[in-house]
Chain A
Amino acid sequence: MTGTRAPRQGRPKNAAERTPAGVMSTVLTIGGYTWTRVRQGELGQIPALIGLLVIWTYFEAKQPTFLSARNLSNLVLQIGVTGTLAAGVVLVLLLSEIDLSVGSVSILCSAILASLLVNHSWPWYWAILLMLLAGAAVGAFQGFWFAVVGVPSFVVTLAGLLGWQGVQQFVLGSTGTINVFNPQIEAIASSTLPAAWGWALAIGGAGVYALTHIQEQVRRRRAGLPAQPLAVVVARAAAIAAIALVAVAVLNGSLNHVWVFGKSVYTNPGVPTAGVILLGLVVFFAWVTTRTRFGRYIYAVGGSAEAARRAGVNVTAVRISVFTLCALLAAVGGLIQTSRLTSASLAISPGQVTLEAIAAAVVGGTSLFGGRGSVWSALLGALVIGSVANGLDLDGQQPYVKLIVEGAILLLFVTIDALARRGRMAAGRA
């Protein structure tokens, strides 16, 4: 560009910056901004947060052990599988596609792992490596079929849902169950971090978050770009630090004598390893999707594949990679599942696992209509779905109640998504 730089007088500064004083006005500005976005259909994670609050309040009122340290620790374990699978589903949804095969892929990889360990006596690390590779290969195969051959992803992965389940049954053999007695595999779901590590994780994570975000705003200001007021950034970082510290305190059992947390004997305190794995995956993929070229291309292809192609994006490669990653995450989910059940068996319904993962992604705020959402919605949605299942279990409800309630919640959140989309269209944003 050879054009001379014109002064930037035409562009108003960030609204919050214009208001001269006070946290109060900042809060009002942010509140107003959020409300405008909500009205225009940019709901993000707000419905899921409200839902989580309602669900937790309801179950705590009904079953006072719901928010006990032990049960929350249990909940973290329960969402490990769903959350990991949902993270992969989010990636595919961002691409405006769907993957119905994640449940089957995860149980297939679980069966491969069990078979390698038990029937072929492989060391655990090679068995894990091969199961992950198998997952990635399955994903690449499905991605190829969709992106290159051109079969709709819905059909390819529906075939996968059936087909990979068949392969799983073949791998498991006539008994239908392989029990895994391997201390390393078991440790994934049964171990917890030492208390000090848990604290270090919370403090370190919150510190890194605060530092990077404050640094970013400072750099924006220095570059003469509109920046958020420092008070807002600090407040948000403080909130995240508080959540992290409370979560670790609860899981470590430090709050066992305080308020609602001290109502049960807590035998295995500490942050569950499976929860740390899930959190690590979510943080990593959230970073990839929002801060790298590859992530940008996922959103671009989901927004308009044709526009991305004309801009020089290799749409086929992006699609195959995303389906590969999704299946790889399904394999990690299968690993956690194997560890929790210490077996691979026919007992798990791949259809239900798949739909819970998709439900978690959508409930957490990723749009079924594609191109909008965040990997964090996998964690949040899995928490919502997991809390409902866990609460109903505590309440001694029959399995049919669980299915009906989960179905209703999914319908509710997809309805919110559809209405939000209509709101965006009305505001000219769709």
Chain B
Amino acid sequence: MAIDLEQGRGGAGAAPPLGDMPVLELKGVSKSFGAVQALTDVDFEVYPGEVVALVGDNGAGKSTLIKCVSGVHTADKGTILIDGKEVRIHTPSDATRLGVETVYQDLALCDNLDVVANMFLGREIAEPAGVGPLGELEMEKRSLDVLDGLHVTTIRSVRQTVASLSGGQRQSVAISRAVMWSAKIVILDEPTAALGVAQTAQVLSLVKRLREQGLGVVVITHNLHTVFEIADRIIVLRLGRRVATFRQRETTPEEVVAAIMGAQRQAA
């Protein structure tokens, strides 16, 4: 690899924040679509209780990398480890079963259903055997518990339709839904795109609480303000390769931008 700043920059400081074993680790992942090499030999790791920002220009391979983890794509080469154990992820439900939850930019909520129905969509409590009447009471209680646990207090009633929520509240619902299913790793795709200032702050503080609860969080974003607000580490992809890793406290937006643009080649 031409440039790998991790060793040089991080040194001893690159020790993981909360444990020795990454909750999610990718080793040498490659993926091509026909003649297009989308990912080349990419390593990636997230530790428990850590927020990693995955940045890069359009076409850098961020989405492809994430889709290899969330089961939308299957990597051509390389291994994926969760809690140190090698796993195979071929479908989105594989990923869910292994504790990887992905919140896509479009959130995938049903506007005409209420908050509870959305949080339990596809996993409703229905006794007996999934064909009996819905356990609305139980679902409502558990939804409230999760929202309260994450301090999502701006939602007035969990029985209002998602259509009536603001952008930030929808994002909060989507994230809360992701973490309520014993997730270990939460992947957020552009969580603050199209949000106002207050809404962004609301979502970012929610992301911080995910970290406090010991989850590994991966955030894809174009917004450097978001990156420096929440990320512990910043991993830069460029043209399908991992070109740089920064500790948020030890770097500047200018350095990150330079890495994204490929100007780091001169600096190195």
Interface window among A2-10, A118-126, A185-193, A319-327:
A2-10
Distance from A408 Cβ to chain B, minimum over Cβ atoms (Å): 29
Question: CB of B27 within 8 A of chain A?
Answer: no
A428 touches B141 (CB 8 A): no
A308 touches B149 (CB 8 A): no
Distance from A64 Cβ to chain B, minimum over Cβ atoms (Å): 44
B141 touches A225 (CB 8 A): yes
A430 touches B117 (CB 8 A): no
Interface window among B5-13, B81-89, B151-159, B195-203:
B151-159
Question: CB of B140 within 8 A of chain A?
Answer: yes
Question: CB of B137 within 8 A of chain A?
Answer: yes
B149 touches A3 (CB 8 A): yes
Interface hits, A1-34 → B, CB 8 Å:
1-8, 10-12, 14
Known interface pairs A225-B140, A292-B134, A430-B163; A1-B145 also in contact (CB < 8 Å):
yes
> When chains A and B are docked, how far (Å) is the Cα of A296 from the Cα of B123?
11
Which chain A positions have C-beta within 8 A of B141?
Answer: 223-225
B150 touches A3 (CB 8 A): yes
Q: Which of B96, B111, B137, B146 contacts A430 (CB 8 A)?
A: B111
Q: Which of B132, B150, B151, B156 contacts A12 (CB 8 A)?
A: B156
A307 touches B137 (CB 8 A): no
Question: CB of B262 within 8 A of chain A?
Answer: no
B111 touches A304 (CB 8 A): yes
Q: Mark A213-224, 1 if CB is under 8 A from B, else 0.
A: 000000110011
Q: Which of B140, B148, B180 contacts A5 (CB 8 A)?
A: B148
Which chain A positions have C-beta within 8 A of B182?
Answer: 1
Interface window among A238-246, A310-318, A351-359, A412-420:
A310-318
Q: Mark B27-67, 1 if CB is under 8 A from A, else 0.
A: 00000000000000000000000000000000000000000
Closest Cβ neighbor of B148 among chain A residues: A6
Query: Mostly helix, strand, loop or mixed at chain B's interface?
Result: loop
Which chain B positions have C-beta within 8 A of A423?
Answer: none
Which chain B positions have C-beta within 8 A of A14?
Answer: 157
B133 touches A292 (CB 8 A): yes
> When chains A and B are docked, how far (Å) is the Cα of A300 from the Cα of B122?
10
Q: Which of B123, B134, B163 contacts A429 (CB 8 A)?
A: B163
Closest Cβ neighbor of B134 among chain A residues: A291
Known interface pairs A1-B180, A291-B133, A430-B163; A307-B110 also in contact (CB < 8 Å):
yes
Query: Mostly helix, strand, loop or mixed at chain A's interface?
Result: loop
A304 touches B122 (CB 8 A): no
> When chains A and B are docked, how far (Å) is the Cα of A259 from the Cα of B164?
46
B161 touches A6 (CB 8 A): no
Distance from B97 Cβ to chain A, minimum over Cβ atoms (Å): 11
Q: Which of A1, A219, A299 contacts B112 (CB 8 A)?
A: A299
> When chains A and B are docked, how far (Å) is the Cα of A8 from the Cα of B146?
11
> When chains A and B are docked, how far (Å) is the Cα of A417 from the Cα of B144?
33
Question: CB of B92 within 8 A of chain A?
Answer: yes
B interface, size bucket: 35 or more
Q: Which of B113, B131, B164 contacts A428 (CB 8 A)?
A: B164
Question: CB of A427 within 8 A of chain B?
Answer: yes
Known interface pairs A4-B149, A8-B148, A303-B110; A293-B126 also in contact (CB < 8 Å):
yes
Question: CB of A422 within 8 A of chain B?
Answer: no
A3 touches B146 (CB 8 A): yes
Question: CB of A372 within 8 A of chain B?
Answer: yes
Which chain A positions have C-beta within 8 A of B106?
Answer: 306
Question: CB of A44 within 8 A of chain B?
Answer: no
Distance from B31 Cβ to chain A, minimum over Cβ atoms (Å): 21
Which chain A positions have C-beta within 8 A of B144?
Answer: 8, 11, 225
B137 touches A225 (CB 8 A): yes
Which chain B positions have C-beta within 8 A of A12?
Answer: 156
Q: Which of A6, A224, A312 contacts B93 (CB 8 A)?
A: A312
> When chains A and B are docked, how far (Å) is the Cα of A73 from the Cα of B112?
37
Closest Cβ neighbor of B92 among chain A residues: A310
Which chain A positions have C-beta within 8 A of B145?
Answer: 1, 5
Interface hits, B99-136 → A, CB 8 Å:
104, 106-113, 117, 121-124, 126, 130-134
Question: CB of A302 within 8 A of chain B?
Answer: yes
> When chains A and B are docked, how far (Å) is the Cα of A371 from the Cα of B126?
21
> When chains A and B are docked, how far (Å) is the Cα of A130 from the Cα of B164?
46
Closest Cβ neighbor of B138 among chain A residues: A223
Question: CB of A207 within 8 A of chain B?
Answer: no
B122 touches A308 (CB 8 A): yes
Which chain B positions have C-beta within 8 A of A427?
Answer: 164
Question: CB of A424 within 8 A of chain B?
Answer: yes
A304 touches B92 (CB 8 A): no
Known interface pairs A223-B137, A293-B126; A303-B111 also in contact (CB < 8 Å):
yes
Q: Mark A182-213, 1 if CB is under 8 A from B, else 0.
A: 00000000000000000000000000000000
Question: CB of A226 within 8 A of chain B?
Answer: yes
Closest Cβ neighbor of A96 among chain B residues: B112
Which chain A positions have C-beta within 8 A of B122?
Answer: 308, 311-313
B146 touches A304 (CB 8 A): no
Closest Cβ neighbor of B123 among chain A residues: A312
Interface hits, A354-403 → B, CB 8 Å:
371-372
Closest Cβ neighbor of A288 among chain B residues: B133
Q: Mark A123-156, 1 if CB is under 8 A from B, else 0.
A: 0000000000000000000000000000000000
Distance from B15 Cβ to chain A, minimum over Cβ atoms (Å): 24
Which chain B positions have C-beta within 8 A of A429?
Answer: 111, 161, 163-164
Closest Cβ neighbor of B149 among chain A residues: A3
A307 touches B121 (CB 8 A): yes
> When chains A and B are docked, how far (Å) is the Cα of A302 from the Cα of B161?
14
> When chains A and B are docked, how far (Å) is the Cα of A174 from the Cα of B163?
55
B156 touches A11 (CB 8 A): yes
Which chain A positions have C-beta within 8 A of B146?
Answer: 1, 3
Closest Cβ neighbor of B137 among chain A residues: A223
Most buried by A among B104, B134, B179, B214: B134
Which chain B positions have C-beta within 8 A of A371?
Answer: 110-112
Residues of A bordering B, CB below 8 Å: 1-8, 10-12, 14, 40, 219-220, 223-226, 291-293, 296, 299-300, 302-304, 306-308, 310-313, 371-372, 424, 427-430
Q: List the 4 shortest-distance A-B pairs measured between CB atoms, nearest first.
A: A10-B153, A3-B149, A311-B122, A303-B110
8 examples of A-B residue contacts, CB within 8 angstroms: A3-B213, A11-B148, A14-B157, A299-B113, A304-B111, A310-B108, A371-B110, A428-B163
